A and B are shown apart, each in its own frame.
Chain A
Amino acid sequence: MTPTLAKGSIRRRLVLQLAGIAALLSLALFLVVRAVAEHAAEETQDNILAASATSIADALYSERGFVRLELPYSALSMLGTISEDRVFYRVVVDDETLTGYDDLPAPEVWSDSRKNKFSTLSYRGETVRSVAVTRAVSTGSQITDVMVIVAQTRLGLEAISTRITATATAVGAGFFLVATALSLLAAQTALLPLNRLAQSVARRGMADLRPVVTETPAELIPLVQSLNSFMSRLRASLTRSEDFITEAAHRVRTPLATVRTQAEVVHRRQSGAADKKALREMIRAIDESSRSAGQLLDHAMVTFRTDHLETSDIDLGDMIRDICDRLFPTADLKDIQINLDCTDQPMPFSGDPILLQNALRNILDNAIKYSPADSVITVRLTANGSYLIEFADQGRGFGDADLTQIVGRFERGSNVGDIVGSGLGLTIADEVARAHGGKLEISENKGGQGACVTVVLPRS
């Protein structure tokens, strides 16, 4: 039985969580890298702007009470080194534009401070970065405040920003990929002990109920402990029920054996026909109950074992010879001859020997039971595409019973009236054959009247 699958395996959960964390970290890394880089780029532009404005301001001089300016072209060309950006300038003296673009906006506050004032603004349809430098120029009698404004478009900066963004994205993505790969590896490593434990449990045979002693990480010890305690309880319970069945069988069968044997003794000593008949019926009833009990137990065992085949390598030839030997005395009592048609060459098959033996024995036992005295049962083992084990008797066949129904539980032929049987023999054989990937075929005996039961097993 498969347990209900919890949403997402531990591995997947672990990987997803680690990948999530990696994604957040990558995003943070991306943002930080971009912010720092853009800030640095902006600062560079600002510094150049300031330097440019300062060098213009330094070129101011006064002549006859007026502020004059010999514009140093180097001040503008140094801005050109950044890119193809356009540069604007304006020198304002007492609210009057001395030179430059007179619509270039000046900062609102005519600051007293000698600090450079940076601002980002829109000018002639473009975003520009501007710096305003104020300088007091002495014009003889008085000091005149002069403001030098230099502005530059931000195309270069935007190009740099795009490059920085691309680089930051690459760094973030790379970090994410590496982190995810590492988290996969980490999940794998973390789950290794769990997998090892699962394998060591899965490799066990179905009868192996010994405690698990695989090296176990501390976190799994409670689980393994409860597993071990569960298995020990299961083992105890199995042993108990096996003991119970054995004990029950013993308790029931021993008195039955006593009654049967005593009935036989009395039957032999009796001479009254009516008494003899009664005793005979009594013995038959005993046979019927013990046979049914035996087959029910067999059937329970077969049903249990077909779920967990304990396969080993066997030789079908040896097995069938053993079974024929074993049932020879029973057949001989009725002067029934068992003809075994089987070559000596190996007939290797991988199957559960106990189940196969039980199935084949049941079929042969059935054949003997339903065969008349002085008849022949032919057991034939052939190997072509698959193994065919054929049991052909000269008995009464199955009458009008539906041959496809005959293997059903407690189904018997339509003509069995007087013969003790539970109808489980062929069911057992059928279930065993199916469990081994084969099937049971039932037909009329081609060589004469009677039945032919064939076990078909695949050749591996």
Chain B
Amino acid sequence: MRFLLVEDNAQLAKAVADRFALDGHAIDCATDLETARACIDTASYDLILLDIMLPDGDGRDFLKTHRGAAKRTPVIVLTARSEISDRVGLLDLGADDYITKPFDFSELEARCRAVLRRQGGTAQNTKTFAGVILDSMTGTLDTGSRVEALRNRELRLLEVFFASPGQIFAKSHLMDRLFSYSDDVSENAIEVYVGRLRKKLEGSSAKIETVRGLGYRIAESP
């Protein structure tokens, strides 16, 4: 997916871009509203992440003109302001959602996903492996013989496997992807989710293998 990040703090912008890159997303950064407008005119984005306090104006004005121009690209506001009245006002102005700085990246991702899903996403968000189709937008798994609904963590785990078939993922890496920093869980917790996915993949030619001592990978069963 392609994001536009409008944020004047270069360090934060870089950190967010790095973080998005880790999950394989492309992100363009604009440090002011003028650059942001130029970006929107030249490229198409799945989602805009918008800071409010910018050197050449207020992000809310940008939001107003953006909505006024009937552009459908969803906008999530990154706000440092914590006043509730502000947050309510943001949604009234046409923001699809907001997140307060500093934000939990997985929450930001979840909000992006929720916003895109609400939008009815035109972007192709399916990945296919060994005849199994994973639809990130609807959170469903099509094994060919049946369609399984995936819960959030199952979906996120499967996305990791589908992004790099055959690659072995350490348990600790998978845990980072699945659990938030405030969850204190043992590494065994991952086994629960792997177990559930195996059940849902039953009957297809895709399967999650345990690589003893190293972790898990998805492979095509012969």
Contacts and interface: CB of A to CB of B under 8 A. Distances in A.
Interface in A19-58: none
B85 A333 contact: no
Interface string B92-108: 00000100111111110
B101 A253 contact: yes
A259 interface: yes
Interface in B1-46: 9, 11-12, 15-16, 18-19, 22
Interface in A165-209: none
B167 interface: no
B110 A330 contact: yes
Interface in A315-369: 326, 328-330, 332-335, 353-354, 357-358, 369
Given A273-B172, A333-B110, A354-B84, A261 B16 contact: yes
A358 B86 CA distance: 12
A268 B102 contact: no
A235 interface: no
A393 B114 CA distance: 23
B19 A264 contact: yes
A297 B97 CA distance: 21
12 contacts: A253-B100, A257-B12, A260-B104, A261-B19, A262-B15, A265-B15, A268-B173, A332-B110, A333-B106, A374-B151, A418-B182, A420-B182
Given A246-B81, A253-B100, A329-B113, A258 B106 contact: no
B208 interface: no
Interface stretch (A10-18, A113-121, A280-288): A280-288
Nearest to B175: A276
Contacts of B12: 254-255, 257-258, 261
Contacts of B183: 334, 373
Interface of A: 245-246, 249-250, 252-262, 264-265, 267-268, 271, 273, 276, 280, 283-284, 286-287, 290, 293-294, 297-298, 301, 326, 328-330, 332-335, 353-354, 357-358, 369, 373-374, 418-420
A326 B101 CA distance: 17
B101 A254 contact: yes
B153 interface: yes
B56 interface: no
Contact of B182 (A246, A254, A271, A419): A419
Nearest to B85: A354
B147 interface: no
B111 A329 contact: yes
B186 interface: no
Interface in B121-141: none
Given A284-B181, A333-B107, A265 B85 contact: no
B84 A253 contact: no
B184 interface: yes
A329 B114 contact: yes
Nearest to A264: B105
Given A264-B105, A297-B82, A373 B153 contact: yes
A249 B81 contact: yes
Interface residues of B, number: 42
Given A250-B80, A257-B12, 5 more contacts: A249-B81, A254-B101, A257-B78, A286-B102, A287-B102
A256 B12 CA distance: 9
Interface of B: 9, 11-12, 15-16, 18-19, 22, 53, 78, 80-85, 88, 97, 100-107, 110-111, 113-114, 151-153, 170, 172-173, 176, 180-184
B172 A265 contact: no
A80 to B, nearest CB: 99
A334 B85 CA distance: 28
Given A253-B102, A261-B16, A280 B181 contact: yes
Contacts of B82: 249, 253, 293-294, 297-298
Contacts of A420: 182
B80 A258 contact: no
Contacts of A332: 110, 114, 152
Contacts of A259: 102
A416 to B, nearest CB: 11
B199 to A, nearest CB: 15
Q: Which of B82, B103, B170 has the most C-beta atoms of chain A within 10 angstroms of its own C-beta? A: B82
A295 B160 CA distance: 35
Contacts of A358: 84
Nearest to B153: A335
B89 to A, nearest CB: 10
A290 B183 CA distance: 17
Nearest to B78: A257
Contact of B9 (A254, A276, A280): A254
Contacts of A271: 170, 172
B83 A297 contact: yes
B189 to A, nearest CB: 8
Nearest to B9: A254
B15 A250 contact: no
A261 B15 contact: yes
Contacts of A301: 83-84
Contacts of B53: 246, 250
A250 B81 contact: yes
Given A258-B11, A297-B82, A298-B84, A333 B180 contact: yes
B216 to A, nearest CB: 16
